[in-house]
Amino acid sequence: MAFLATAVRRAAAYRPSLLSLCPPVTRCYSSPGEKPTEKNVPYEKTLKQEGGAASGPTRALPESADAVVIGGGSLGCQTVYHLAKMGMTNVVLLERDRLTAGTTWHTAGLLWQLRPSDVEVELLAHTRQVVSCDLERETGLHTGWIQNGGLFIASSKQRLDEYRRLMSLGKVYGIESHVLSPAETKDLYPLMNVDDLYGTLYVPKDGTMDPAGTCTTLTRAASARGALVIENCPVTGIQVETDDLGWRKVKAVETPHGTISTPCVVNCAGVWARKLGGMAGVNVPLVAMHHAYVVTERIEGIQNMPNVRDHDASVYLRLQGDALSVGGYEPDPIFWNEVSDKFAFSLFDLDWDVFMQHIEGAINRIPALESTGIKSTVCGPESFTADHKPLMGEAPEVRGFFLGCGFNSAGMMLGGGCGKELAHWIIHGRPEKDMYGYDIRRFHHTLTDNNRWIRERSHESYAKNYSVVFPFDEPLASRNMRKDPLHQELLSQGCVFQERHGWERPGWFNREAPAPVLDYDYYGAYNVSKNHHYKYKDLLGKEYTFDFPPHHDVIKNECLTCRNALAVFNMSYFGKFFLLGPDAKKAADWLFSAEVYKPVGSTVYTCMLNKRGGVESDLTVSRIESGCPGSALAPSFQGDGFYLAIGGGVAQHNWCHIQNVLHDMKFQCRLLDCSEDLGMISIQGPQSRAVLQDVLDADLSNEAFPFSTHKLVRAAGHQVRAMRLSFVGEMGWELHMPAQACVPVYRAVMAAGAKHGICDAGYRAIDSLSIEKGYRHWHADLRPDDTPLEAGLAFTCKLKGSVPFLGRRALEEQKAEGLRRRIVCFTINEKVPMFGLEAIFRNGEPVGHLRRADYGFAIDKTLGYGYIRDPKGGVVSPDFIRNGHFALERMGVTYEAVAHLKSPFDPENKRVKGIY
């Protein structure tokens, strides 16, 4: 066993020196053949030791710049390249040491084209285009791109099903891929052990990038367009100023060699991004982990073989000439530069005690490794985030401070796409694509400075790096961070919670026994006692399937009870804002696409758009009465007032969007966040009026309380704001109330509803009911790169009037030109589950993919919504849809589909009006 023997022998040889290199100062091996160096010590140590004074900066610092990018790794180089390419020539990149000297130097440089996200597939495609084509054409230099293909290993049916999902999505984007049998895999890769394989996914045009070659070429191309790249120049401070309206803005970047005045800083500092953010008072929620791999000696027959990802063994094998780089992701990673003794380890512990599991997995997959030696060992820091997604966009704390960090070992492969989007964000105020999943504003501000949340969630992110991505996955780390007043009440009723934006919201109800979420046990790592008899984890594990989940019938019961009687939904996690003041009407006119300035007591469903006409949010806006006594339901104010209810998962994003608009337009009004102070339950179904008539002191008839209106009423001795609205297509009301009123009002509703068959229901039921009715879900089938016209929400836009609003011009232009894509509802007759990302074919050609799919229990069909295009680039008219023959592909199998121009459930909208 030469491979293992060499590992142990090298460990013993280096042990005396390695054991002395515990964090915070860690020496690591860099490229093959190099001796240990100190080039990757923590940022603060570098500043103290080097100060940039040893060799000095490689260029003279300018006095000012339009933007300063900090960090010369993949993201920094890609960002400065794309900024220059988009016309921003007065841009500076500062690198404290040498290009790629941070995290990028030790990256494996792999690029896989398929990911379980349409946006990521597009980002990866751009990276590939830049590295394999654009840079060489622009500079005449080769970046080191090698197209040797990629092979994903499946040791189970579930894993192969995941790959088949990727394959179907890839067809929409023209990405060639093939599902191979074990025998076909052996033919492709003769050195591979296929005895334990279920199958593989082969993508011929995957490949690898050379970090140094790519970054050098990027900076040369950027420099040719006027950008200034300065190495050996650490940043020691970031100046921030406060404007007349109290907003903090970037002013300048400080270095030991001078200060650069700039309105824009881009934090691409990788594992040191958190330190850099602290200089400006910006929270950067990431954690750095040790990541290691070994480079083998020569292996006969390995030449030209594809790169391999064996997810089930948590191992990757990168072709490196006539050798392999072997790495992986272990459940007990070592935190980089930690103070806590509990998690402080030496490099020796990491390289061999922890790394041995990857070696064993590699030998199982490539038996020839058993007799192959190790040429070199590579170890360095990688930054991980709470949800395994990067941190991008403008920080909510400081205008002009942008993030491009936290890439979870995917910085090279996502760098091109993300660098382009970040550059567009900086220049135009928003990215071109839907980058909400990467936007720092997806996290609530109470979480981004919570060390426990950052540490636990980032650990789980690392440990589950190669886990199957299931539709109903939920984190186990750092739960119960935000709980609404009904949490304990619903937990006792068997509520199985989901986590969104830190909130615990009802997912579905298990009637057998309570299933509380317990403190995080790090999956038993670090000698932390593992949670035993963990009901919640067991229930969650049973949901991990690409088939109908085992609790499918429970969701069905919740849905049909809502359709036939009534159900109660706890929606207290919603964002709840007040827009108040002298200019509140002006602000509302500009912010909201619909006409919301209606009589007091009106409630309007509307969108908020960006200047390109894309939907930043959908929400309800209620005009409220002025001169109220200052209660939580209606604060005292002068002028006009509006109450906003927004999905809780996007509350922080929307808060920042509204505040930025108010500031930029100089509207004299204020935005109050009462999300923590108010709760909300929604009662929906044919019996909702009968039940609530016994609870509320108000006439609930159609004449007295019509749809899309609200009133202040009393329930169970408390004042509540009742709104007649529906998000599931039934007659119903929302009750917004102070936190202390939630439990007594909920209990009163449940007591009154007992004789009518009332039940609790969760968001799994909401997902099914709303898609069945054709209602949009923001960031599911409604995103910032979708316009209301494309999304079938033209009725939310006041285009018939003359009132200007943000995004109006873009919508008018789109309406005049005709829609080049349009959302369509599809149903299939076969009872198979779909979850989104399934390919849509029209007359045999791919025209799009499902954004969102679920099972509709009232119509007893699987249905989904997706945006389709004409492959010829023409207008997508209703006739284009009517005259097409459609099919949906799920995991490589196609199903005949029916396209609907209206919702197949209650297309005349009678039920929400109380007409049954």
One DSSP character per residue, 753-789 reads: HGGGT-EEE-HHHHHHHHHHHT---BTTTB-TT--TT
Pick the closest to residue 795 from 598, 588, 591, 607 (CA basis).
607
Please say whether the beta carbons of 264 and 66 come within 8 A. Answer: yes
Q: Express each pLDDT in 378-404 by its tens digit.
A: 888 899 999 999 999 999 999 999 999
How much is the pLDDT for 14? Answer: 38
| Per-residue pLDDT at 7 | 52
**Which tens digits make up the pLDDT trace of 763-772?**
999 999 999 9
> If we measure between CA atoms, which residue out of 600, 574, 601, 604 comes closest to residue 591?
604
Beta bridge partners, 254, equal 237, 259
Q: Average pLDDT of 806-827?
A: 98
Spatial neighbors of 800 by CB under 8 A, at least 6 apart, are none
What pLDDT score was predicted for residue 630?
Answer: 53
Structure tokens belonging to residue 910: 């009678």
629 has a pLDDT exceeding 70: no
Say if strands 91-94 and 228-230 run parallel, antiparallel, or are unpaired.
parallel
Q: Report the side by side order of strands in the sheet with 615-623.
A: 603-609, 615-623, 640-646, 575-581, 670-673
Query: Nearest to residue 870, comparing CAs of 823, 824, 826, 820?
Result: 820
Residues 209-243 have pLDDT tens digits of: 999 999 999 999 999 999 999 999 999 999 999 99
> Tell me, what's the pLDDT at 20?
26
Average pLDDT for 509-535: 94
Tens of pLDDT along 465-480?
Answer: 999 999 999 999 999 9
**Residue 33 pLDDT class (50, 70, 90 cuts):** very low
332 confidence band (pLDDT: 50, 70, 90): confident
Average pLDDT, the chain: 91
Of the candidates 361, 440, 373, the residue with the CA atom closest to the CA atom of residue 406: 440
Secondary structure tally for the chain: helices H, strands E: 24, 38
Here the tokens at position 497 are: 């919670």
Higher pLDDT, 148 or 9: 148
Exposure string over 424-455, b if 16+ CB within 10 A, otherwise e: bbbbeebbbbbbbebbbbbbbeebbebeebbb
At residue 15, the pLDDT reads 31
pLDDT at position 3 is 56
Confidence bin at 152 (pLDDT 50/70/90): very high
Token digits of residue 890: 């799920």
pLDDT at 201: 98
From the list 460, 459, 402, the residue with the least C-alpha distance to 426 is 402
Q: Pairing relation of β-strands 307-310 and 150-154?
A: parallel
Q: Specify the pLDDT at position 627.
A: 58
List Cβ neighbours of 402 (8 Å cut-off, separation of 6 or more). Answer: 264, 265, 266, 267, 392, 393, 394, 395, 422, 425, 426
Question: What average pLDDT does range 34-54 have in this prediction?
Answer: 34
Report yes or no on whether pTM surpasses 0.95.
no
- Specify whether the CB–CB gap between 206 and 306 falls below 8 A: yes
Q: Which of 135-149, 373-387, 542-556, 691-705 has the lowest mean pLDDT?
A: 373-387
Q: What is the pLDDT of residue 49?
A: 34
CA distance 16 to 21: 9
Report how far residue 257's alpha carbon sits from residue 326's, in angstroms, rounded to the nearest whole number: 41
Identify the residue with better confidence: 809 or 331. Answer: 809
What gap in Å lies between CA 615 and CA 607, rounded to an integer?
6
The answer, yes or no, to whether residue 425 has pLDDT greater than 80, is yes
Peptide bond into 24 cis (omega under 30): yes
pLDDT at residue 703, as a whole number: 96
pLDDT band at 343 (very low <50, low <70, confident <90, very high): very low
Q: At what angle do helices 651-665 and 584-591 cross, to 10 degrees?
A: 120
CA angle 307, 310, 312 (to 5 degrees): 170
**In this structure, what token pair is assigned to residue 758?**
């009332």
Q: H/E element holding 70?
A: strand 67-70
Query: What is the amino acid identity at position 358?
Result: H
Length of the chain: 916
Q: What is the pLDDT of residue 107?
A: 84
